[in-house]
Amino acid sequence: MEYAIKTMLIYFKFLLKELISPLNYFMAFLIGVVINFFQGIGIFSSLVPFIVPIIVQSISKASVKFGNRNINLLVRLPMEKKDPAFVINTTGEIVASEGKTKGLFSKNGITNFQDLFENQQVSDIKGTIKESCTTKEHISQEWYSPRIEKWYSINMKADEFSDNVLVWLDDITLRKKLDERLTKVRNFSTQMMLSIDEQLKATDSYDRLAQFVLEQGYQGVFITSKEKDGNLKGFVYKFYSGQITKSNEIIIPKNSEAPIWKSRRSLGIVTDTINNYSDSEVFYQNNRFDPHVLDFLDFKVKNFINYHEEDISVITFNKHSEINQHDLTLMEGIVNSAFTINYLVNIIKNCK
């Protein structure tokens, strides 16, 4: 019963919208004039030819829109989504775009598919369009747009009733950046493994790791190892006047509430940001940073990521941009690499 009432209310909203539509009254006026004229009476002699069309049009249009309300909502999706969706012709000219896509293209002066991907060879663009039109199949590419400064997965499908092509783009910038950063992690791990002999002499594995982490866009990092007594011991690193500086050794007791313990206690990666709180003091109450760490950092902590692998615990401070899922994946890769390298170093030490 409740569902039926809600459905009726939705229908009456559609009907009311049609009843106040000026277009319906204009059409009813024309119909009424024509009917009265051909009946051979005065144009405004009878009101019936004017009233009936209003009622019929309103009810019929409201019924159609009510019946297609979910389909119409689905059609609006390309207008609402952030990633562009539009129509081009065989020369790449954008012939149709709406909503956010239209605003984006207008802002960046994009009128042609080649404007969007101007770093691609024109032959590649034309070839992709031609392939879509020829095969009538779904075509997919991954290209970078210099004008918008984003990576997109390009999807194309030709309209079987015309020469136009429907194009919809998926923003894959974060994934591309993650792939790039993970490649850096793999390269860093390889370089570290190839220089293990040097690290044995210099004992600077954590120093190199800290530099790598800071270069990924963090303001500070604290790297520790778990001691036999259960405490965490390590060093804090930060950039200062263009150089990496290192704190004195800092010990975090096993009963401490410092955030560097959170990953171990939750058995997973942990992150938090001051933006999650209406009051910054609540952020610091929930994350009781060790005073020695704060004194060395000498800046206000706004966010952090904490992860551990066996004896190694790492916490990074103040990523320059908003923390996302890709940053967590990257941190897992960095800490896992650090553990592997540290493990190999210890094995070699024990064998000598």
Tens of pLDDT along 84-143?
Answer: 888 888 888 998 888 888 899 999 999 999 999 988 888 888 888 888 777 766 667 889
Flag the least confident range among 182-186, 198-202, 234-238, 342-346.
198-202
Looking at per-residue confidence, does 190 or 317 come out higher? 317
**Res 301 pLDDT > 50:** yes
Compute the distance between CA of residue 88 and CA of residue 92 in angstroms, rounded to an integer.
Answer: 5
Task: For residues 280 and 309, state if they share a domain.
Answer: yes
Please tell me the predicted confidence (pLDDT) of residue 289.
94
Determine phi and psi for 126, rounding to 5 degrees.
-65, -40
Structure tokens at 16: 């009311």
Task: For residues 6 and 92, state if they share a domain.
Answer: no
Provide the pairing of β-strand 139-145 with 150-158.
Answer: antiparallel
Compute the distance between CA of residue 170 and CA of residue 155 in angstroms, rounded to an integer.
Answer: 8
Flag the least confident range among 81-95, 239-253, 286-300.
81-95
**Res 255 pLDDT > 80:** yes
Looking at per-residue confidence, does 295 or 175 come out higher? 295
Compute the distance between CA of residue 89 and CA of residue 69 in angstroms, rounded to an integer.
Answer: 30
Please tell me the predicted confidence (pLDDT) of residue 347.
66
Please tell me the predicted confidence (pLDDT) of residue 30.
78
Task: For residues 85 and 57, state if they share a domain.
Answer: no
Task: For residues 265 and 151, state if they share a domain.
Answer: no
Averaged pLDDT score across all residues of the chain = 82
Confidence of residue 240 (pLDDT cuts 50, 70, 90): confident
Which residue among 136, 171, 206 closes a domain?
171
Task: For residues 125 and 197, state if they share a domain.
Answer: no
Please tell me the predicted confidence (pLDDT) of residue 5.
80
- The amino acid at residue 157 is K
Task: For residues 346 and 238, state if they share a domain.
Answer: yes
Flag the least confident range among 14-23, 86-95, 111-120, 237-246.
14-23
Please tell me the predicted confidence (pLDDT) of residue 74.
47
- At 302, which CATH number? 3.30.450.40
Mean pLDDT of 28-56: 73
Cα dihedral 295→296→298→304 (10° resolution):
-100
Query: Residue 275's Cα: distance from chain center in Å?
Result: 18
Please tell me the predicted confidence (pLDDT) of residue 291.
94
Determine phi and psi for 317, rounding to 5 degrees.
-125, 140
Half-sphere exposure of 47 (CA within 13 A, CB side): 2
**Res 300 pLDDT > 70:** yes
Looking at per-residue confidence, does 235 or 123 come out higher? 235
Burial 174-195 (b: 16+ CB within 10 A, else e): eebebeebeebbeebbeebeee
Task: For residues 153 and 182, state if they share a domain.
Answer: no
Task: For residues 263 and 315, state if they share a domain.
Answer: yes
Confidence of residue 32 (pLDDT cuts 50, 70, 90): confident
Percentage of the residues of the chain whose pLDDT score is greater than 90: 30
Task: For residues 94 and 186, state if they share a domain.
Answer: no
Mean pLDDT of 24-36: 74
Burial degree of 93 (CB within 10 A; 0-12, 13-18, 19+) = middle
**Res 282 pLDDT > 60:** yes
Looking at per-residue confidence, does 27 or 279 come out higher? 279
Query: Residue 243's Cα: distance from chain center in Å?
Result: 33
- At 131, which CATH number? 3.30.450.20
Please tell me the predicted confidence (pLDDT) of residue 19.
79
Q: Residue 131 belongs to what domain range?
A: 77-171
**Res 332 pLDDT > 50:** yes
Task: For residues 243 and 325, state if they share a domain.
Answer: yes
Q: Count of domains in the chain?
A: 3
Task: For residues 147 and 192, state if they share a domain.
Answer: no
Mean pLDDT of 309-316: 91
Confidence of residue 205 (pLDDT cuts 50, 70, 90): confident
Please tell me the predicted confidence (pLDDT) of residue 71.
54
**Res 195 pLDDT > 70:** no
Burial 103-139 (b: 16+ CB within 10 A, else e): ebbeeeebebbbbbbeebeeeebeebbeebbeeeeeb
Which residue among 171, 197, 226 closes a domain?
171
Q: State pTM to two decimals.
A: 0.60
Task: For residues 47 and 15, state if they share a domain.
Answer: yes
Which residue among 75, 97, 125 closes a domain?
75
CA separation (Å) from 321 to 219, 287, 303, 318, 330? Answer: 11, 20, 10, 8, 14
Categorise residue 99: left if φ over 0, alpha if ψ from -120 to 50, beta otherwise.
left
